[in-house]
Structure 1
């Protein structure tokens, strides 16, 4: 059953995120690319998008049950090319996320057109970053993301950025060769840098199965970073540790809107509240 996001939750995230940022300023947990490492592989970057690997590793368990009180949205990447945004709005899209970057070596060439096109069509939009913990540290990737469209502005139509952290699409270890402790530190490095630079907490996009496997099911981020959960099944299922509700549910890889299909866990007013900050 869906868990409704109430207004006080956003305020709670902001208060706790600010506390986390102050404490994090005393810590040094940067994760660097080893010296002498081979040049990063970005050969799949143009086709990687949120959920690319989740369906491959976890499959599709069924069709999501539509529930009252949720707001329909979607997410796109360069894979969708030129998007007909007025048509998407006409089909019911109220919000969207657009892939901006991957690692520290790829910017979606369609990003500006997609991001601005969504805005022109009256769709609340945000940007997401496809994480590559194998190529550089979390702080470096957060800064790269912000510099290439992943920031936030208080215009009431821009959602805070999202970190897409999922199975490694480049072969080898699905956790990018990192232990749960190192992966948790990498994610923390990204999220605290984003918060420090943008003054908003990033959403975390992931699946429960990946989170358990690659972070050891840490509950560290539930009080600071809203959850965007991927699960292609009739219901949301088990949540990762630390979160008692999802903000966004990516429930299908395709449907009536371009790209992946999503529900925001609440009415449009809650989407607007997240955008306003």
Structure 2
């Protein structure tokens, strides 16, 4: 896919959606969500339709300035309203709004669906699982198994995206093992599989966010305090993605155990979009 164009921030005047991003299905615009950003209503029900060059949104100058300012306040004071405002600014201004941000996260959705397929016992990924079994000398060695699954879900290609995906996959699997140390990572049940997917998407989004806007926070206080602030931010991302997945379930969308493998990516896209809408919805609550 290539390194994400958002790493390090978006330059002013640059297209917010790179040419290589595939069209993705977005959350239904007639849902009951109260957090849908007002600026994203284009009146077009065919959200998979390709954007013309003139319709591609262009990043404003200094698109991350507002987010960095609010996050600097959070780093200095611990004010969680400033934290939420910073994340909302990042989504709305830095990444062009929830819908555009979700379109630009197509790679994360693809890696998440691959991870869910590998660990969920899907027949589609049986060859991948067998390759993992052949490559891992001791399947009881959790670290070795985690690394092999993460590499399979997000193959190394020399880009930041693939490495971030591997880190997020390993972290999601480690999180599951902390909940259930006896989990069979190559044959998870439906609930376990959903936990892994939800956690992966949250951590992958957080790592991109941290790369884009969090470096300047390091100079706002002692290292231990900075690490604590980053944990709070990460927890906020994970909780928001959990809420997003719950919202998807309330809208009677199927669980991962009741949909074909090729539909899991669509579920991933829906979770990402819902989460970004929740983030951006802070402005509507203020």
Q: TM-score, normalised by structure 1?
A: 0.25
* Greater Rg over alpha carbons, structure: 2
In terms of fraction of residues, the more helix-rich structure is 2
In terms of fraction of residues, the more strand-rich structure is 1
